[in-house]
Structure 1
Amino acid sequence: MSTETVNKDILRGGQFLVKETKCEDIFTPEDFSEEQIMMKDAVTEFVDRELWPNKARFEKKDYAFTEEMMRKAAEMGFTGVAVPAEYEGLGMGFVSTMLVCDYISGTSGSFSTAYGAHTGIGTMPIVLYGTEEQKKKYVPKLATGEWFGAYCLTEPGAGSDANSGKTKAVLTEDGKHYLISGQKMWISNAGFANLFIVFARIEDDKNLTGFIVEYDKSNPNGISFGEEEHKLGIHSSSTRQVFFNETKVPVENMLSERGNGFKIALNVLNIGRIKLAAACLDAQRRTITEAVKYANERIQFKTPIVNFGAIKAKLANMATNAYVDEAASYRAAKNIEDRIAIRMAEGNSHQEAELKGVEEYAIECSILKVAVSEDVQITTDEGIQIFGGMGFSADTPMESAWRDARIARIYEGTNEINRLLSVGMLVKKAMKGHVDLLGPAMAVKDELMGIPSFDIPDYSELFAEEKEMIAKLKKVFLMVAGAAVQKYGPDLEQHQQLLLCAADILIEIYMAESAILRTEKLAKKEGEENIKPQISMAKLYLYNAVDVVNTKGKEGIASFTEGDEQRMMLMGLKRFTKYNNMPNVVELRNTIADKLSAENKYCF
């Protein structure tokens, strides 16, 4: 572990809400090492050579081609980036695994789903929970692409409520095998997987148990498959139902302990959520680049449409979301990597360190999953709009990009579930004393009772007002969430619409702060004059975030207060979402769009 990691003030998960973060203490895409840049270039070259020219084949449901491309990715080492070297992986850090997941996902949702399902939920449960014997037997095959993995959790009656699955595991009389029987659905990679991570219930256990189940076509062992699902998007991602009929699984293939399956599922999904955010990043960049190129080439009323204000606004918003999503994703990834390094230095095993490192930032993982999956949908939708009628045609890349993006809001836990989780986990952390919410919430309550200051602060430094605004947005969350917890206590989880409002406020705070910190760090390195578009994006995102916080704050406050309490909180909301110097949003957008037009691509 580096001295830099030890000396850096690394916040615990969720503490961003109550503690100030310095720009020097976050990692940004501008901080990639030479090794990471080389890896990024290798992945991009693979995508440009093998995947992008063959987009049409993915759209034609060519599952064999997806498998072929997965084998080529494995030959390049891409399927083993997160696997320790002793199991024939590359043993790269968490940021590097995010980077590969990011750039390999730029062209086709079909391929990125296959890649993510194999390297994430198909492999990591064994890496993180397997015995040494299980890891030695299975992980090298998965890391090298000799075998491909799939993950069998969802059932017809068990989606978001995953622990309600009906699949059974019955111990044989000789005690040497479990017989697994049940039905799993929406199983990515089912058509070519050699190994399944299967969750089943033993007797009447409260929680599921995980199993490693091999599949051999020549000896199906009670495993059969439904037809390939017909889906809105990700057409060449093999998605089938998997049926188990007394499938014999050796007792030594139980993953972790009996009844630990639900915990495995939750922790692996935390990793899946932040990796899903990464998998939406290059999709945004490439969509923006295609939209900019088209807008520069498309002539209407004797001028390229990129010169029209309506198009500039779209391009600026698309680029801003991508830039902010990058900032937040790599900020959290480095936090996780540093926490893993600290735990390993303290004597934790690699398994324990990675599990606890990711679990620490489960709130941020849920935030990113929601924010980035929704931004990629907006970006592809606006991409279609910029292409106009051509965007609706399957002959342009926008149509398939839009369809592929839609699934991101559903898998790895729906966005609704992740919104509820983000606030719920934060409240639980506060109850455990890991994040002090009560003290800051009481301070905000006292501030509301006091007389506000009418002094106008000095805003001469870059982002001085923006940082003050973010601090005020945090007060909005503390005000709303603090009062809600005080009123409802443990029954708060029953008030989902209020929690959804609080979650949207929390999300905007983390994303906006990440953008400001990334840009402040860049300004210190490059100089303010040289990064005007990035400064514009950070300011534009915050401006939009303030609007969201204001709207969601009003909705939340009105849902559980009345009379004097409501009037006081609404006055607080108005105070905490008020700019002293309102930014010129049109000018910000034009600065961003003009840079995109000049570079003819996403260039940040």
Structure 2
Amino acid sequence: MSELAKGGSFLLQHTDTTRVFTPEDFDDEHRLVAESMTSFLEENVFPRMDEIDAKKEGLMKELLVEAGEYGFLGSDIPEKYDGTDTDEVCSTIIAEKVGAAGSFAIAHGGHTGIGNLPIVYFGNEEQKSTYLPSIVTAEKIAAYALTEPGSGSDALSAKTRAVLSEDGGHYILNGSKTFISNAGMGDIFIVYAKVDGDKFSAFIVDGDSEGLTTGAEEHKMGLKGSSTRSVFFDNVKVPAKNLLFKVGKGHVVAFNILNIGRHKVAANAVGAAKYALDQSVAYANERKQFNSPISNFGLIKEKIAEMAIRIYAAESTVYRTAGLLNDMMHSLDRTGDDAGAVTAKGIEEYSLECSLEKVFASEVEAFVVDEGVQIHGGYGFIAEYPIERLYRDARIRRIFEGTNEINRTIIPTTLLRRSQKGALPLFEEVGKILKKSNGQLTVRETPSDIVQACKEVFLFVLGHSQEKFGSDLMKHQEILGRLADIAIYSYAMESSWLRACKAEASKGRNVQLKTNMAKAFIHSGIVKVTNTAMEILAHVAAGSALEELQSHLVKLTQYTPMDLIAVREKVAGAISAAGKYVV
């Protein structure tokens, strides 16, 4: 196996197409999982969406049991504990496919992702043997209890306490959690509490424990069929053997599980966005105005094209990250007593990419469902049409698994901290770019050149932001957020283009369509990146100093425009002809 790429290194170096995983690289197992999951949802879940959202008694548990029978609950669980032990790509495929299933997706993800992965990655042998087999079959439903009424993004300020009993046999938990998915049917709760009020720790808590109660179901904007409740702990006795990982190391469990959770949320968002586009294209092909399908109208074509283009970019980004995570997991030796620490270090390496894709994919989904409603016109506002549910259900993905604002701050701060530790030569590259910006203007001719320009812009504005604010830069969230946006677009643009290049090299299908979508995304992306960079520069300089920085930015971002209107028309034509998202 070739050396693993360092997290965040895509900003500092060229990435070869051979180092990027794409959906076109699916093997027979991946394709079988995708086909099986699609069939399961079409036969068992989509026909019952109204019943699910009405919270029909016992239905969600029934569907999870059926999913378990098909093997869709144990993809991350070793065969030793009755799981299917497939790779990270299979888990990503399952997460993507289920994303369109609204409330079922939340129940499924809460159970198979953040609900079971703390045990899979950080549990000891006894904990895994006790709990994982019943999770695989949905005999017992898992839930993840981190958020509290006063601590959402600031998880470490949790007030739930755990005190070891005098005989050392139990921890006594007191406190509450809020917005807990699957709480109404939860049998296994991963609970975070502070031992003695200061040592943030993780516990496996049985749902039938005396003193554990749940509140009423929350009435939500979307995802109406998923169970969301508060959970209360009143002197709940948790066996000391149910401490997960180590006392005071709950943050290691929580944050790394959230990293994987962000990856799966991104995959969910791609699946939902694809489904929304499919619904919208089918409607546009069928709906006639002025004796013509509305899919023939220019402004509708542009919507369809841009929806497909952004989905393509998000899909490329998600599977690139899946490949990184998959290679990393396969490189680890998780057989020793330090398996939890080894796993945590591996996952943390790509925390930045997980945040990037979560922000990008969830915002692509938001764009797609909004445009989908617009294409449907008045019918998009009517509950009879799936796009109405998709629109409501999408909103939460920009909030949970860390709000997009929090994830935006994570991206540059992670890069800066790694640079300070010598893990990434960030400021060496910044110095090179600052010197380059003083040189001659170079026109960027190819998509690859434009992607490189965006990376250089990130380093350029980071360097000047650091000069302005020094160590206080991490306190300026407005700058951090804009730096994150440039990094996000750089990653998504490069992922799109490398995928297209890889398809062309292998003479794959729809190469021209992939190329058109990648080019369109890149050429519209450079405009966003340039404008974002200009906002940062206008904040760090003024007068003649700003004018000089502007001239340097122009040197870095000069490119030859392409006819985006014509390219989008071609993309729309291909999608409308297929009647769905195709690549």
2:85 corresponds to which residue?
Answer: 91
Partner Cα distance (1:346, 1:479) in 2: 44
Instruction: Give 5+ residue unaligned stretches, structure 2.
Output: none
1:266 corresponds to which residue?
Answer: 255
For 2:285, give the aligned amino acid: N
Cα separation, partners in 2 of 1:442 and 1:325, compared to 1, 3 Å: same
Instruction: After superposition, give the CA deviation of every residue in 1:396-438 in whole Å (9 maximum; x if it has no partner).
Output: 0011000000000000000000000011111111112222111
2:401 corresponds to which residue?
Answer: 412
Partner Cα distance (1:276, 1:352) in 2: 24
User: CA shift at 1:377, angstroms?
Assistant: 1.1
For 1:471, give the aligned amino acid: Q
CA contact (8 A) 1:328 1:515 kept: yes
Instruction: After superposition, give the CA deviation of every residue in 1:309-367 in whole Å (9 maximum; x if it has no partner).
Output: 10000000111111111111111111111122223399897655543332111100000
CA contact (8 A) 2:68 2:137 kept: yes
Partner Cα distance (1:262, 1:345) in 2: 20
CA contact (8 A) 1:340 1:356 kept: no
2:566 corresponds to which residue?
Answer: 587
Partner Cα distance (1:228, 1:601) in 2: 36
CA contact (8 A) 1:327 1:515 kept: yes
Matched, 1:571 2:563: no
Cα separation, partners in 2 of 1:587 and 1:326, compared to 1, 3 Å: same
* Alignment partner of 1:210 out of 186, 202, 205: 202
Partner Cα distance (1:333, 1:209) in 2: 28
User: CA shift at 1:440, angstroms?
Assistant: 1.2
User: CA shift at 1:577, angstroms?
Assistant: 2.4
* Alignment partner of 2:317 out of 314, 328, 348: 328
For 1:22, give the aligned amino acid: D
Partner Cα distance (1:20, 1:204) in 2: 47
1:462 corresponds to which residue?
Answer: none
1:30 corresponds to which residue?
Answer: 24
1:109 corresponds to which residue?
Answer: 102
1:503 corresponds to which residue?
Answer: 484
2:360 corresponds to which residue?
Answer: 371
CA contact (8 A) 1:340 1:353 kept: no
Partner Cα distance (2:57, 2:142) in 1: 15
Cα separation, partners in 2 of 1:46 and 1:371, compared to 1, 3 Å: same
2:130 corresponds to which residue?
Answer: 137
Partner Cα distance (2:452, 2:521) in 1: 15
For 1:68, give the aligned amino acid: E
Q: How much identity, in percent, do the aligned residues show? A: 39
What RMSD, in angstroms, separates the aligned Cα atoms of the two structures?
1.7
User: CA shift at 1:568, angstroms?
Assistant: 2.2
Partner Cα distance (1:441, 1:200) in 2: 41
User: CA shift at 1:105, angstroms?
Assistant: 2.2
Matched, 1:537 2:501: no
User: CA shift at 1:564, angstroms?
Assistant: 3.9
CA contact (8 A) 1:10 1:25 kept: no
CA contact (8 A) 1:481 1:502 kept: yes
* Alignment partner of 1:256 out of 245, 250, 267: 245
Instruction: Give 5+ residue unaligned stretches, structure 1.
Output: 1-5, 460-464
* Alignment partner of 1:432 out of 421, 427, 436: 421
Cα separation, partners in 2 of 1:151 and 1:63, compared to 1, 3 Å: farther
1:558 corresponds to which residue?
Answer: 538
* Alignment partner of 1:547 out of 500, 508, 527: 527
SS at match of 1:485: helix
For 2:431, give the aligned amino acid: M
User: CA shift at 1:489, angstroms?
Assistant: 2.8
SS at match of 1:211: strand
CA contact (8 A) 1:75 1:144 kept: yes
CA contact (8 A) 1:371 1:507 kept: yes
Partner Cα distance (2:396, 2:57) in 1: 18
Partner Cα distance (1:76, 1:349) in 2: 33
Partner Cα distance (1:27, 1:409) in 2: 25
For 2:455, give the aligned amino acid: K
Partner Cα distance (2:137, 2:479) in 1: 47
Aligned residues: 583
CA contact (8 A) 2:77 2:120 kept: yes
Partner Cα distance (1:15, 1:252) in 2: 40
Q: TM-score, normalised by structure 1?
A: 0.94
Cα separation, partners in 2 of 1:286 and 1:342, compared to 1, 3 Å: same
Q: How does 1:151-162 map to 2 (within 5 A)?
A: 151-162=144-155
CA contact (8 A) 1:419 1:504 kept: yes
Instruction: After superposition, give the CA deviation of every residue in 1:493-521 in whole Å (9 maximum; x if it has no partner).
Output: 11010111111101000000000000011
CA contact (8 A) 2:441 2:556 kept: no
Instruction: After superposition, give the CA deviation of every residue in 1:42-94 in whole Å (9 maximum; x if it has no partner).
Output: 10000010111112112323363222111111111111001111111111111
CA contact (8 A) 1:63 1:236 kept: no
Partner Cα distance (2:441, 2:523) in 1: 22
Report the more deviating stretch, 443-452 or 196-205: 443-452
* Alignment partner of 1:244 out of 230, 233, 240: 233
Cα separation, partners in 2 of 1:354 and 1:445, compared to 1, 3 Å: same
2:119 corresponds to which residue?
Answer: 126
Cα separation, partners in 2 of 1:579 and 1:450, compared to 1, 3 Å: closer
User: CA shift at 1:527, angstroms?
Assistant: 6.6
2:501 corresponds to which residue?
Answer: 520
SS at match of 1:104: helix
Partner Cα distance (1:27, 1:521) in 2: 10
1:234 corresponds to which residue?
Answer: 223
Partner Cα distance (2:247, 2:57) in 1: 35
1:600 corresponds to which residue?
Answer: 579
Partner Cα distance (2:61, 2:557) in 1: 51
User: CA shift at 1:481, angstroms?
Assistant: 0.9
* Alignment partner of 1:150 out of 143, 155, 179: 143
Matched, 1:340 2:335: no
Instruction: After superposition, give the CA deviation of every residue in 1:147-199 in whole Å (9 maximum; x if it has no partner).
Output: 11111111110110111111111222222111111111000000111111111
Partner Cα distance (1:587, 1:350) in 2: 53
* Alignment partner of 1:387 out of 376, 381, 393: 376
For 1:83, give the aligned amino acid: I
SS at match of 1:449: coil
User: CA shift at 1:450, angstroms?
Assistant: 2.6
Partner Cα distance (2:291, 2:17) in 1: 45
Partner Cα distance (1:298, 1:25) in 2: 44
Partner Cα distance (1:158, 1:539) in 2: 42
Partner Cα distance (1:192, 1:597) in 2: 42
Partner Cα distance (1:564, 1:98) in 2: 50
Partner Cα distance (1:26, 1:255) in 2: 34
SS at match of 1:248: strand
User: CA shift at 1:95, angstroms?
Assistant: 1.1
SS at match of 1:105: helix
Partner Cα distance (2:319, 2:463) in 1: 29
Q: TM-score, normalised by structure 2?
A: 0.97
Partner Cα distance (1:560, 1:55) in 2: 51
SS at match of 1:344: coil
Matched, 1:174 2:167: yes
Partner Cα distance (1:204, 1:148) in 2: 29
Q: How does 1:468-507 map to 2 (within 5 A)?
A: 468-507=449-488
* Alignment partner of 2:67 out of 57, 61, 73: 73
CA contact (8 A) 2:96 2:271 kept: yes
Partner Cα distance (2:507, 2:340) in 1: 39
CA contact (8 A) 1:323 1:537 kept: yes
For 1:541, give the aligned amino acid: F
2:33 corresponds to which residue?
Answer: 39
CA contact (8 A) 1:484 1:560 kept: yes
